[in-house]
Structure 1
Amino acid sequence: MKPILIVEDEPSMLMGLKDNLEFEGYQVDVAEDGGIGLDKILGNEYSLVLLDVMLPKISGFDICKQVRKKGISTPIILLTARGEEIDKVLGLEFGADDYITKPFSLRELLARIRAVLRRTENRIESKTDSSVEIGNLSINFSSFEGFVDQQEVKMSHKEVEILNYLWDNKNTIVSRDDLLDHIWGTEYQPTSRTIDNFILKLRHKIEVDPNHAKIILTVHGVGYRLVV
């Protein structure tokens, strides 16, 4: 059984999710505040974490940031009652794999869980254990570690995933839709602007002159090409 951690402070929501996921065959652990949730994520191995954003002690956003900073790549689906675009963008940039707004149906949640687990398993199989050199950056896709001039640089979970996909398809055009489908899946679609923001951040780590890119090229109206 795949172990799932639910971090949720609303008792009825927590117990409802736990009962339904156990009925679906998952092994479920729970935490009722952000502090306990963070400790459990750092101290255990889960296949996936369902993480509420508005939590006592530590917010879901802060948990996500701390977990990714420590190199833990456990898939995270954020649960929140807020649906503004800025919250979605923040969640994705902090390293969440998906985002679902309350109220949601059990059917939708289960579909999201299965999709995230499936994408994660596929990405793990494709990752290389050795570092590769891309412009100024030395990156290990398995450990999510990046270095420029032997100094470690901060890499978000999604930055690494996007760069990994571009590397796997180097010297060919990758459309924005391809990136959206591969990194986030068809169940949840951020805007193309989200992809552009991630590419901009990657260029600042990779390119000699980010304003005149030579490695991650824009193919206008289509997407990007990683040239190596």
Structure 2
Amino acid sequence: MTHTIGFIYAHPDDETFLSACLIRQLVDKGERPVLLLATKGDAGKKNGHVAHLSNEELASLRVHEMQQAAEILGLTDIEHLGHPDGKLNQVDEILFIEQVAEFINKHQLQIVFSFPEDGGNFHPDHMSISKVTTAAVLSGKCPSVQKLYYCMSNTLLQQGHEPSIIIDTKPQWEMKANALRAHASQLLAIERYFGDLSSFPENRRYESFVLCWERGVLWPQKQELSVLDDLN
């Protein structure tokens, strides 16, 4: 049986930063990961050679880069809501939640991944997509969803939450590095986080996720071997 797993993030490259190895592992096991991005990354101009582009030009470039990264990750279903980058907290919340719920129901997602409440790094867009994704899952209007995971953050650790799933990226680092390189317009920001992509960043070794909701139960404390554990 193939399971459909949704990754719901704010910008092109979030998927690779946070979950490239998990996505590729799911694909290699015959599962079906799908990706929803709230923006096209049209404000990501702090990276030298793209500073001269208009927002529309940068959005087009980043959608193209996302497609290149998707080919490396094995993602075949990607949707962009196209909301303004950097302004997700200004989007009508009811509409936003409806759009996320529509995506979930369209694909009959059984598992959803997104940012934690703090956005991982307190980025307003990350925090907004976390809020609306969580609201959609908990609304009762997305009955296919059995699990919601957050990407691990320091805030969650400080609150006493432990990762439910930890992915060691070292065996797949070449794949992840190539997917990161595909987001070429953002390479300066990527290298600030991961360092020189030609060498393995030990300090960024793991992709970690905490199960924050499972079939009506908030923060079930469990360690899992796979995100597919205990699915109905």
Instruction: Flag whether TM exceeds 0.5 (same fold).
Output: no
After TM superposition, the score normalised by the length of structure 2 is 0.36
After TM superposition, the score normalised by the length of structure 1 is 0.37
Q: Which has the higher contact order (CA 8 A, sep 6+)?
A: 2
Quick check: which has more Rg, 1 or 2?
Answer: 1
